[in-house]
């Protein structure tokens, strides 16, 4: 269960930072892994409207959005956007990230690809503003609504505070801690108690990536899925990407990682290996099942397709068995 927070205030120790860190602490107490991206400290180039994303599904701009923010938004179970109101919307730094998520919008609506996390990802908004007007958060709410839609997150509402101006106003608010804790509990409840399954193969470039995407896609609300490799490759396999795209499943923004890193992040109850059981580290209490599938790396694309279909069948059976 990963909670990613986008921190949008440029103030050194201000209200938004307090609000988001209070939320993240509450999330950690509920068992979540958290990652805050302070967008004001990142190298973020605003959208240049090259429109490459709308034709090809990727953004040619090289910066922290590409290297860090896109992958984290794809991995997150819950995305929390936190911002002060600047002229009736989010800050420019945060808006630049939102605009760059046109890439996700294009992959969803132009290329018709579905993110495996679509069925379970949630989005939440934290906001503060100095004035008390009725319309203070209207512009922000609209931007947030369309942002969360583009990143396949169900917009689950907000905690928005009026009359917050001095840097310590939020911390002095009498009910904020309680309200944030309640929101975190409500948002994370659906993710708790899911069975933790790790899919492992050698390079984490084909088989375990496909298995984990199918499992997330078909049963993200029942399974807490991760994946890893005993000898992780540098990048995921391009044929694997193609054959999953044929099924309408978007595998972009993923990178191979080690089994050890996956276990450290999310101690599994069940490990499913793809024919390499002996290379898997022993996790006390975890059951290991081997699916004994051939490695499709370097084989013709038809072979990759067959392995994909075999994996899909096995994942469907696994989901039936865990019901
Ligand atoms: C450039 C700028 C624009 C702002 N625009 C608004 C606004 O439109 N409405 C409002 O109520 N407050 C506005 N504020 C005030 C901030 O929202 C408020 O001080 C907030 O508490 C700052 O949060 P922070 O400490 O997390 O940065 C603005 C502040 C700045 C610096």
Q: What is the pLDDT of residues 293-311, one digit of tens each?
A: 999 999 999 999 999 999 9
How does pLDDT run across 240-250, given as a tens digit for each residue?
999 999 999 99
Neighbouring C-beta atoms of residue 131, cutoff 10 Å: 12
Ligand 1 atom 8, closest CA = 87
| Whole-angstrom distance, CA of residue 283 vs CA of residue 276 | 15
Q: Which residues contact 318 (CB under 8 A, 6 or more apart)?
A: 197, 215, 272
DSSP reduced 3-state for 33: strand
Ligand 1 atom 5, closest CA = 86
What pLDDT score does 207 carry? 96
Q: Order of strands, edge to edge, in the sheet holding 287-290?
A: 223-229, 195-201, 270-273, 287-290
Cα of 14 from ligand 1 centre, angstroms: 11
| Residue 205 CB–ligand 1 contact under 6 Å | no
| pTM score of the predicted model | 0.96
In whole angstroms, what separates CA 71 from the centre of its chain? 7
- Cβ–Cβ under 8 Å, residues 47 and 91: no
Kindly tell me the sign of the dihedral angle through the C-alpha atoms of 242, 243, 247, 253.
negative
Cα of 130 from ligand 1 centre, angstroms: 6
Kindly tell me the sign of the dihedral angle through the C-alpha atoms of 108, 113, 117, 118.
positive
DSSP-derived letter for residue 174 is: S
Each of the 323 residues of the chain gets a pLDDT tens digit; together they read 899 999 999 999 999 999 999 999 999 999 999 999 999 999 999 999 999 999 999 999 999 999 999 999 999 999 999 999 999 999 999 999 999 999 999 999 999 999 999 989 999 999 999 999 999 999 999 999 999 999 999 999 999 999 999 999 999 999 999 999 999 999 999 999 899 999 999 999 999 999 999 999 999 788 999 999 999 999 999 999 999 999 999 999 999 999 999 999 888 999 999 987 777 777 888 999 999 999 999 999 999 999 999 999 999 999 998 87
Sort strands 122-128 and 78-84 into parallel, antiparallel or unpaired. parallel
Q: Which among 85, 135, 140, 167 is the best mutation to test ligand 1's pocket, defined by most ligand atoms within 8 Å of the CB?
A: 85
Task: Report residue 128 as tokens.
Answer: 């503060």
Cα of 86 from ligand 1 centre, angstroms: 5
Which ligand 1 atom is at minimum distance from the Cα of 14?
25
Which ligand 1 atom is at minimum distance from the Cα of 17?
26
| Residue 130 CB–ligand 1 contact under 6 Å | yes
Q: Which residues contact 21 (CB under 8 A, 6 or more apart)?
A: 36
Task: Report residue 107 as tokens.
Answer: 């992959």
What DSSP line would sit under 214-237, residue for residue?
Answer: HHHHHHTTTEEEEEEESS--SS--
- Tell me how many degrees the CA angle 147-89-131 measures, rounded to the nearest 5: 140
| Residue 285 CB–ligand 1 contact under 6 Å | no
Q: Which among 21, 129, 167, 176 is the best mutation to test ligand 1's pocket, defined by most ligand atoms within 8 Å of the CB?
A: 129
What pLDDT score does 101 carry? 98
Which ligand 1 atom is at minimum distance from the Cα of 167?
25
């Amino acid at each position: 269960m990963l909670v990613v927070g986008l921190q949008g205030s440029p103030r050194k120790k201000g209200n938004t930072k307090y609000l988001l860190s209070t939320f993240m602490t509450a999330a950690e107490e509920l068992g979540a892994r958290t990652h805050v991206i302070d967008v004001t400290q990142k190298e973020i180039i605003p959208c240049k409207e090259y429109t490459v994303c709308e034709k090809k599904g990727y953004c040619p701009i090289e910066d922290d959005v590409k290297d860090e923010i896109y992958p984290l938004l794809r991995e997150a179970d819950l995305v929390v956007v936190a911002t002060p109101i600047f002229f009736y919307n989010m800050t420019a730094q945060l808006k630049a990230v939102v605009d760059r998520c046109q890439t996700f919008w294009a992959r969803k609506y132009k290329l018709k690809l579905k993110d495996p996390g679509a069925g379970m990802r949630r989005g939440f908004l934290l906001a503060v503003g100095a004035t008390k007007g009725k319309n203070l958060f209207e512009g922000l709410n609209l931007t947030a609504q369309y942002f969360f839609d583009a990143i396949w997150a169900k917009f689950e509402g907000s905690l928005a505070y009026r009359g917050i101006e001095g840097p310590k106003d939020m911390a002095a608010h009498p009910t904020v801690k309680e309200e944030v804790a309640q929101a975190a509990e409500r948002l994370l409840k659906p993710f708790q108690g899911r069975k933790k399954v790790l899919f492992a193969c050698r390079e984490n470039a084909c088989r375990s990536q496909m298995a984990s995407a199918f499992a997330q896609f078909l049963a993200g609300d029942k399974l807490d899925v991760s994946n890893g490799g005993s000898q992780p490759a540098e990048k995921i396999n391009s044929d694997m990407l193609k054959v999953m795209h044929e099924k309408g499943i978007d595998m972009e923004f993923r990178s191979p990682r080690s089994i050890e890193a996956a276990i450290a992040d999310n101690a599994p109850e069940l490990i499913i290996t793809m024919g390499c059981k002996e290379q898997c580290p022993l996790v006390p209490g975890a059951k290991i099942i081997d699916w004994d599938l051939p490695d499709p790396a370097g084989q013709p694309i038809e072979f990759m397709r067959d392995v994909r279909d075999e994996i899909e069948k096995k994942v469907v059976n696994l989901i039936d068995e865990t019901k």
